[in-house]
Amino acid sequence: MAIPYPLKDAYRLTAEEVIQIIRTDRSTGLSQREALKRIKIFGPNSYQTRRQKSWRLILAEQFTGPIVYLLIFGAAISLYFKDMLDAVAIASVILINAFIGFVMELQARSSMNALKKMDVTITRVIRDGQLLNIPSEQLVPGDVMKLEAGDIVPADGRLIELHQLQCDEASLTGESFPAVKQAGEIVGDAPLGDRHNMVFKGTSVVNGNATAVVTGTGAATELGTITSLVESSPETATPLDKKLNGLSRKLIGITLAMTGVFAVTGVIQGKKALLIIETSIALAVAAIPEGLPIVATVALSHGMLLMARRNAIVKKLSAVETLGSTSVILTDKTGTLTENTISADTFVFPEETIRIGITDKVSFLHHGETQNSSENLEKLLLAGYLCNNAVATKSGPDDGEKHYSGDPVEIALLKLANAAKLNTAELSKAYQRIGEVPFSSDIMMMGTLHRNPTGYFVAAKGSVEHLLQKCSRVQLGPVIHKLDETRRSQILQQSADMADDGLRVLAFAYKAGLEKNDESSFFNDLVYLGMMGFLDPPRMDIRAAITACRNAGIKVVMITGDHPRTALHIARKVGLIDEHDKNVITGKELPQTEDLTDEWKQRILSTAVFARTSPKQKLDIAVIFQKSGQIVAMTGDGINDAPALKKADVSIAMGMRGTDVAKETASIILKDDSFTSIAEAVSHGREIFRNIQKFVIYLLSCNLSEIFIVTILGIITPASTLLPLQILFLNMLTDIFPALALGLGTGDKTVMQGGPRDPKKDIVTDRTWLVIALYAAVMTLSVTIAVLYCRYLITDDSQLLNNTAFVTLTFGQLFHVFNMSSLRSDPVCNEITLNKFVWLALLLCAAIVVLVFNVEQLRLVLSLSILPFKIWLVSIIASLLPLLTIQSCRLIAANRKKKS
């Protein structure tokens, strides 16, 4: 009979049923022969990842895309007509851009290798009745494995025996608190975080020990399922990539149209075929924005450096701009919105509730009508310190900072005692521990017996329901009363209310003045003190960051594997939802993707809190937002976040607390794990996009003017039209340096005061195309005027007229950079004139032009001559016309708007 594998519903079965189904023995385990047989059937306990791309394939992919094809076409045509300089120049652009992309791609190759780091090397198992140490890769279904505190769980397993077992499953489930494990079966379906009788590969044992039967290995584990999701989830093309590719296709269309017009006109006019072909090449070169790939890459690289100063390390260049276009941020809770530490949040005494704020000392905010719980507070702090096995140590004699180890809740109690300035050293001497009832999942309590100068003292803590059964009295200020049923019901209701607030509740009790050491019955007849609520506290700066995102039109959504009540409580505290909002969707409620109705999709899109979600559900939620037209940023730090991180438009991992898997998958890593850094990075991303938009408009208007000039002069004065190499020189000069200066600008500081741009809109909208055409038309007109003026009033030499067009267009494009200031800015003092890189670029370009005209070899290559002063004067004056014309039109429009 075949073994059912993987045994996904093992948590719903008893331990004996699992042992029987998987055909093993709890005391002797599998035989070595059976283990060898099963490893042949089920494979090793490791991941069979897909073969990675070869470096050759990665390199080849850098030469794909419309704009690259356009550049390659231009280089090929130049080679055909033996214009080696043109071909070499274009090829250089292609190779530089490919090299940058190749290097960036190589960084992502190790993303799946991080998963292998989760494997442990040695595991303790029972085989043939003996306890053996074997490599974890040799584990098979049915193996009986032994686990202790400090172990990394090597495979998924059903617990059959355990003692005080707690596992840290935060990286897999998002649960802040360690999961307290139990051996009993679970009735019905349960999400991953509620399967308390299971252990999962890649999680860690923080307390206790256990014996478990392996139910899943390798790819059949929960971690293996995530691995396959990460591998199968395709990376989404970024909005910037899509927009630049779309822009390239439009440029190809414009080039073909203009070339067709010129060719038809040339045939009608009876021009020679060679002239028509050469001019068509010039048009093709003019249409190619050679500087666009390089300028975009450098601008984004500059953004990477600036964002690194803002605690955001960018691994993928395009993520810089994509983050600026984000309309939805899907964020994890633990470690992102919260501190990822357990701390005391609330005291609830029989007659008073006290909120806790901890800095270097304890401060209290009272909410009750009375403030007579000082006796309860004093004894509760004492009980919390004494009934505690956590340890605080110093790394050295001069090290003032303490390092804690132990159960996270007990660490929180120890920190609370230190913050309250309890003299813990004296207390340890005064209250010597002589007995203990350890915590277990059966009794859900812990008690300790101490000897002190007045007799014996008992300290106890545990679940409210179980500890109350051991209490017969209650402390009410300085007086002890009998604990009646009314008071018991009141305490249980208070506990339920705290749980509804997302707090983990622990009750405390004591007994003092015992005259004899009775270790057999000291855990009875206790005095109830009160309860303490524990919480993974929210980060202090989160509320302001979420408000900034909301003002910027960005929806923030929490997706966590934690309990829904805890998720709602934190969401309210950080301002994600209002105090009365109870709308939360749990993973158990979510239908399968194929079963999602339109109503369900709308509900998902309108919800801000998701709890108890699985890794696949996180991925599905991200896809739903993307399909609704949103640009999705996903944050995370756990293994369970990796699939959604890969699918998101921009993925953000936590650098301090994040797992290797999350950090390798993400495109951005936060050095400080703070959501506030995300808000700042979004702001900078928006600034970068505006800079990109400016230099794209500048490049296109310059290149379009070249197309117009070649076409018009080719019809009016064919011999004076621009040559292909001159156009290429212009593009390499004016397209790169001034455009690059625009890309390095500081941008508009009000970018976070408006909503995100429509992701469906291109970088260049229809209205912007009209503006670009206007800019190009004005520059074309200025060059045409200069050429015709010189032709009829100065000279009819075709080379001098060609040089006139070249100089006029060169300086016209350089001055045109000042037209890129925003419409509302001051014409003299604005983001362009205050940009030092613009002035440096203009000086450099002007110096290169002067150098070209003064070096004979360069003049010959570009077919230039020594120009008379009159031609220089005409060309410079004409080159100023576009700037003066456009700025005058802006001033007129602004004055009309003021008057209206």
Looking at residue 366, its amino acid is: H
State whether 325 and 381 are in the same domain.
no
Residue 804 lies in a domain: yes
Write the CATH number for 599. Answer: 3.40.50.1000
State the residue range of the domain holding 400: 370-535
DSSP-derived secondary structure for 422-463: --HHHHHHHSEEEEEE---TTT-EEEEEEEETTEEEEEEEE-
Pairing relationship of beta strands 144-148 and 122-127 according to DSSP bridges: antiparallel
Residue 359 lies in a domain: no
Residue 588 exposure: Cα atoms within 13 Å on the Cβ side: 11
Residues 508 and 529 sit within 8 Å (Cβ to Cβ) = yes
Residues 570 and 175 sit within 8 Å (Cβ to Cβ) = no
Give the domain-ending residue among 483, 502, 535: 535
Q: Which residues pair with 849 in a beta bridge?
A: none
State whether 702 and 825 are in the same domain.
yes
Residues 220 and 139 sit within 8 Å (Cβ to Cβ) = no
Q: Which of 143, 332, 562, 641 is catalytic?
A: 332
State whether 140 and 75 are in the same domain.
no
State whether 162 and 210 are in the same domain.
yes
State whether 27 and 171 are in the same domain.
yes
* Of 356, 340, 417, 300, nearest in space to 743 by CA: 300
Tokens for 189, please give them: 């379906």
Classify residue 27 by its DSSP letter. Answer: T
State whether 815 and 890 are in the same domain.
yes
Tokens for 44, please give them: 């090793």
Which strand (E) or helix (H) includes residue 886? helix 869-899
Residue labelled with tokens 């935060």: 170
State whether 327 and 442 are in the same domain.
no
Distance, in Å, from the CA atom of 649 to the CA atom of 238, rounded to the nearest integer, reads 6
Distance, in Å, from the CA atom of 614 to the CA atom of 622, rounded to the nearest integer, reads 13
The predicted model scores a pTM of 0.61
Residue 364 lies in a domain: no
Distances 70 to 63, 248, 677 between C-alpha atoms, Å: 11, 8, 39
Name the CA radius of gyration of the chain, rounded. Answer: 36
Q: Is 626 helix (H, G, I), strand (E, B) or coil?
A: helix
Residue 209 lies in a domain: yes
Which strand (E) or helix (H) includes residue 391? strand 391-394
Looking at residue 570, its amino acid is: I
Tokens for 832, please give them: 């362009």
Write the CATH number for 458. Answer: 3.40.1110.10
Nearest 5°: phi and psi at 645? Answer: -60, -40
Residues 575 and 547 sit within 8 Å (Cβ to Cβ) = yes
Tokens for 686, please give them: 């928006």
Classify residue 124 by its DSSP letter. Answer: E
State whether 869 and 785 are in the same domain.
yes
Distance, in Å, from the CA atom of 695 to the CA atom of 676, rounded to the nearest integer, reads 29
Q: Which residues pair with 634 in a beta bridge?
A: 330, 651
Centroid of chain to Cα 842: 38
Give the domain-ending residue among 70, 91, 111: 111
Pairing relationship of beta strands 632-636 and 198-199 according to DSSP bridges: unpaired
Q: How far apart are the first and last CA of the chain?
A: 88
Tokens for 865, please give them: 């001559």
Give the domain-ending residue among 491, 513, 535: 535
State whether 715 and 842 are in the same domain.
yes
Residue 140 lies in a domain: yes
Maximum Cα–Cα distance for the chain, whole Å? 122
Query: What is the per-residue pLDDT for 191?
Result: 81
Query: What is the per-residue pLDDT for 744?
Result: 77
Q: How many other CB atoms sit within 10 Å of the CB of residue 249?
A: 13
* Of 244, 418, 407, nearest in space to 321 by CA: 244
Is 332 tagged catalytic?
Answer: yes
Q: How many distinct structural domains can be found in the chain?
A: 5
Residue 194 lies in a domain: yes
Write the CATH number for 293. Answer: 1.20.1110.10
Q: How many other CB atoms sit within 10 Å of the CB of residue 889?
A: 12
Question: In which region does residue 888 sit, left (phi positive, over 0), alpha (psi from -120 to 50) or beta (all else)?
Answer: alpha
Pairing relationship of beta strands 471-476 and 632-636 according to DSSP bridges: unpaired
Residue 829 exposure: Cα atoms within 13 Å on the Cβ side: 0
Residues 46 and 137 sit within 8 Å (Cβ to Cβ) = yes
Looking at residue 740, its amino acid is: L
Which strand (E) or helix (H) includes residue 803? helix 798-816
Rounded mean pLDDT for each run of 10 residues along the chain, 900 residues in total: 72 91 91 91 73 69 68 71 67 69 52 40 87 89 88 90 84 74 86 87 83 90 72 54 68 72 72 65 61 66 69 68 81 79 86 69 50 82 92 61 78 87 88 86 85 88 92 91 92 88 88 74 88 85 83 88 83 87 88 84 92 82 89 77 77 72 74 74 77 83 84 76 77 77 70 68 78 92 93 89 92 91 72 86 91 87 88 94 90 76
State whether 781 and 834 are in the same domain.
yes
Residue 363 lies in a domain: no
State whether 882 and 795 are in the same domain.
yes
Residues 21 and 9 sit within 8 Å (Cβ to Cβ) = no
DSSP-derived secondary structure for 257-298: HHHHHHHHHHHHHT--HHHHHHHHHHHHHHH--THHHHHHHH
Distance, in Å, from the CA atom of 873 to the CA atom of 803, rounded to the nearest integer, reads 13
Classify residue 234 by its DSSP letter. Answer: P
Distance, in Å, from the CA atom of 803 to the CA atom of 98, rounded to the nearest integer, reads 34
Pairing relationship of beta strands 585-586 and 609-611 according to DSSP bridges: parallel
Which stretches does DSSP call E strand in 515-613?
526-535, 555-559, 585-586, 609-611
State whether 740 and 860 are in the same domain.
yes
Residue 349 lies in a domain: no
